Amino acid sequence: MKTQSNTYTDTSTPAILDCGHAPDPGQPANVNGRTVMGWRFVLTSDGRKVCHACDMLRVLPCGHHPSPHSPCFTGTARLPDGREICCACVDDMQREDLRDTSKPFDAYLSCDGKTVTTWTGGQLMRVTQSWPCALTRQSWIHSRSSYKSIRAIDCHGQAWHGRGSAGTLIRLRACKAHAPATAAAR
Protein backbone atom coordinates (compact mmCIF):
# COMPACT_ATOMS: atom_id res chain seq x y z
CA MET A 1 0.00 0.00 0.00
CA LYS A 2 1.33 3.38 -0.96
CA THR A 3 1.37 6.06 1.76
CA GLN A 4 1.52 9.79 1.23
CA SER A 5 4.18 11.81 3.02
CA ASN A 6 2.91 14.72 5.13
CA THR A 7 6.18 16.62 4.79
CA TYR A 8 6.38 19.34 2.15
CA THR A 9 9.71 20.11 0.49
CA ASP A 10 10.21 23.69 -0.67
CA THR A 11 11.73 23.62 -4.14
CA SER A 12 11.76 27.42 -4.54
CA THR A 13 14.51 27.98 -1.93
CA PRO A 14 17.98 28.09 -3.48
CA ALA A 15 20.92 26.28 -1.85
CA ILE A 16 22.77 29.60 -1.48
CA LEU A 17 20.90 32.89 -1.07
CA ASP A 18 21.77 36.19 -2.75
CA CYS A 19 23.57 37.29 0.44
CA GLY A 20 25.98 34.31 0.08
CA HIS A 21 24.60 32.36 3.08
CA ALA A 22 22.61 29.15 3.25
CA PRO A 23 18.85 29.49 3.91
CA ASP A 24 17.66 29.50 7.52
CA PRO A 25 16.23 26.19 8.78
CA GLY A 26 12.79 27.79 9.21
CA GLN A 27 10.16 27.09 11.83
CA PRO A 28 7.91 24.03 11.34
CA ALA A 29 4.24 24.81 10.85
CA ASN A 30 1.19 22.68 10.09
CA VAL A 31 -0.54 23.80 6.90
CA ASN A 32 -3.55 21.77 5.76
CA GLY A 33 -2.28 18.67 7.54
CA ARG A 34 1.24 18.94 6.13
CA THR A 35 4.37 20.01 7.98
CA VAL A 36 6.07 22.92 6.24
CA MET A 37 9.17 24.86 7.18
CA GLY A 38 8.26 28.52 6.97
CA TRP A 39 10.22 31.69 6.27
CA ARG A 40 13.59 30.25 5.23
CA PHE A 41 14.66 33.61 3.77
CA VAL A 42 13.50 37.21 3.43
CA LEU A 43 12.54 38.66 0.06
CA THR A 44 13.83 42.26 0.03
CA SER A 45 12.13 45.15 -1.76
CA ASP A 46 14.63 44.86 -4.63
CA GLY A 47 13.76 41.16 -5.13
CA ARG A 48 16.81 39.61 -3.45
CA LYS A 49 16.56 36.51 -1.23
CA VAL A 50 18.63 37.00 1.95
CA CYS A 51 18.94 35.19 5.29
CA HIS A 52 17.29 36.63 8.41
CA ALA A 53 20.64 37.74 9.89
CA CYS A 54 21.54 39.77 6.77
CA ASP A 55 18.01 41.17 6.64
CA MET A 56 18.37 42.54 10.20
CA LEU A 57 21.66 44.26 9.22
CA ARG A 58 20.28 46.17 6.24
CA VAL A 59 19.46 49.85 6.61
CA LEU A 60 15.99 50.90 5.50
CA PRO A 61 15.21 54.20 3.71
CA CYS A 62 14.05 55.59 7.09
CA GLY A 63 17.65 55.18 8.36
CA HIS A 64 16.90 52.31 10.76
CA HIS A 65 17.23 48.52 10.72
CA PRO A 66 14.07 46.36 10.49
CA SER A 67 12.24 46.06 13.80
CA PRO A 68 12.61 42.81 15.76
CA HIS A 69 10.14 40.34 14.32
CA SER A 70 8.73 36.84 14.34
CA PRO A 71 8.85 34.29 11.52
CA CYS A 72 5.44 35.57 10.38
CA PHE A 73 6.36 39.27 10.16
CA THR A 74 9.13 41.10 8.30
CA GLY A 75 9.67 43.89 10.85
CA THR A 76 8.93 46.52 8.19
CA ALA A 77 5.99 48.27 6.58
CA ARG A 78 5.73 49.12 2.91
CA LEU A 79 4.47 52.60 2.08
CA PRO A 80 2.28 53.32 -0.98
CA ASP A 81 5.35 54.67 -2.82
CA GLY A 82 7.14 51.30 -2.31
CA ARG A 83 9.58 52.34 0.44
CA GLU A 84 10.06 50.03 3.43
CA ILE A 85 10.27 51.60 6.89
CA CYS A 86 10.66 50.22 10.41
CA CYS A 87 7.80 49.83 12.90
CA ALA A 88 8.94 52.77 15.05
CA CYS A 89 8.74 55.09 12.04
CA VAL A 90 5.29 53.72 11.13
CA ASP A 91 4.11 54.47 14.68
CA ASP A 92 5.52 58.02 14.42
CA MET A 93 3.73 58.54 11.09
CA GLN A 94 0.43 57.41 12.62
CA ARG A 95 0.90 59.74 15.60
CA GLU A 96 1.41 62.63 13.15
CA ASP A 97 -1.71 61.55 11.21
CA LEU A 98 -3.71 62.15 14.41
CA ARG A 99 -3.16 65.89 13.93
CA ASP A 100 -5.64 65.87 11.02
CA THR A 101 -8.94 65.77 12.92
CA SER A 102 -11.07 66.41 9.82
CA LYS A 103 -11.35 62.73 8.92
CA PRO A 104 -11.93 59.46 10.81
CA PHE A 105 -8.92 57.56 12.15
CA ASP A 106 -8.65 53.76 12.20
CA ALA A 107 -6.62 52.11 14.96
CA TYR A 108 -6.83 49.13 17.32
CA LEU A 109 -8.52 48.97 20.70
CA SER A 110 -6.20 46.94 22.94
CA CYS A 111 -7.35 43.59 24.31
CA ASP A 112 -7.84 45.11 27.77
CA GLY A 113 -9.77 48.06 26.28
CA LYS A 114 -7.58 50.66 28.03
CA THR A 115 -5.49 51.97 25.11
CA VAL A 116 -5.80 52.61 21.39
CA THR A 117 -2.76 51.38 19.47
CA THR A 118 -1.16 51.18 16.04
CA TRP A 119 -1.12 47.84 14.20
CA THR A 120 2.38 47.25 15.61
CA GLY A 121 1.20 47.91 19.19
CA GLY A 122 2.51 51.48 19.59
CA GLN A 123 0.30 53.54 21.91
CA LEU A 124 -1.73 56.32 20.28
CA MET A 125 -4.45 57.11 22.84
CA ARG A 126 -5.52 56.45 26.41
CA VAL A 127 -9.16 55.40 26.85
CA THR A 128 -10.81 57.73 29.38
CA GLN A 129 -14.38 56.40 29.25
CA SER A 130 -15.98 53.17 28.09
CA TRP A 131 -19.60 52.03 28.33
CA PRO A 132 -21.78 49.36 26.69
CA CYS A 133 -23.80 50.46 23.68
CA ALA A 134 -26.28 48.86 21.30
CA LEU A 135 -24.99 46.86 18.37
CA THR A 136 -27.53 47.91 15.75
CA ARG A 137 -26.53 45.47 13.03
CA GLN A 138 -25.39 41.88 12.70
CA SER A 139 -21.64 41.52 13.05
CA TRP A 140 -19.24 38.62 12.69
CA ILE A 141 -16.58 40.53 14.66
CA HIS A 142 -18.41 42.11 17.60
CA SER A 143 -20.74 40.51 20.13
CA ARG A 144 -23.56 42.44 21.74
CA SER A 145 -21.94 42.00 25.16
CA SER A 146 -18.48 43.29 24.15
CA TYR A 147 -19.51 46.23 21.92
CA LYS A 148 -18.70 49.56 23.63
CA SER A 149 -18.60 53.29 23.04
CA ILE A 150 -15.31 54.83 24.04
CA ARG A 151 -13.76 58.24 24.52
CA ALA A 152 -10.00 58.59 24.38
CA ILE A 153 -7.32 61.27 24.54
CA ASP A 154 -4.51 61.08 21.96
CA CYS A 155 -0.83 61.87 22.47
CA HIS A 156 -1.46 65.49 21.35
CA GLY A 157 -4.31 66.08 23.86
CA GLN A 158 -7.17 65.80 21.33
CA ALA A 159 -10.34 63.95 22.42
CA TRP A 160 -11.72 61.19 20.15
CA HIS A 161 -14.77 58.92 20.25
CA GLY A 162 -15.69 55.63 18.60
CA ARG A 163 -17.39 52.25 18.97
CA GLY A 164 -15.95 48.77 18.88
CA SER A 165 -14.81 45.74 20.82
CA ALA A 166 -11.54 45.15 22.65
CA GLY A 167 -8.86 43.56 20.46
CA THR A 168 -10.31 44.77 17.15
CA LEU A 169 -9.99 47.63 14.69
CA ILE A 170 -11.95 50.70 15.73
CA ARG A 171 -12.88 53.82 13.75
CA LEU A 172 -12.51 57.00 15.79
CA ARG A 173 -13.65 60.54 15.12
CA ALA A 174 -12.35 63.69 16.75
CA CYS A 175 -14.65 65.28 19.33
CA LYS A 176 -15.74 68.77 18.44
CA ALA A 177 -14.24 71.46 20.62
CA HIS A 178 -16.81 73.49 22.49
CA ALA A 179 -16.01 77.18 22.50
CA PRO A 180 -16.44 78.90 25.86
CA ALA A 181 -19.54 81.06 26.16
CA THR A 182 -18.89 84.73 25.42
CA ALA A 183 -20.61 87.72 26.97
CA ALA A 184 -22.37 88.47 23.65
CA ALA A 185 -23.87 84.98 23.48
CA ARG A 186 -25.26 85.12 27.04
- pTM of model > 0.75: no
SS3 186: coil
End-to-end CA distance of the chain: 93
DSSP string, 18-57: TTSSPPP--EEEEETTEEEEE--SEE-TTS-EE-HHHHHH
pLDDT-based confidence at 8, cuts 50/70/90?
Answer: very low
163 vs 34, higher pLDDT: 163
Q: Which amino acid does the sequence have at 50?
A: V
Mean pLDDT (the chain, rounded): 80
149 contacts: CB under 8 Å, gap ≥ 6 = 130, 131, 132, 133, 161, 162, 163
Residue 57, CB-side half-sphere exposure with 13 Å CA sphere = 6
pLDDT in tens, 75-119: 788 888 988 888 899 999 999 999 999 999 999 999 999 999 998
Residue 143 to residues 132, 137, 148, 172, Cα–Cα distance (Å)? 11, 10, 10, 19
* pLDDT tens string 26-50: 767 677 777 766 667 777 777 888 8
Share of the chain above pLDDT 70, in %: 76
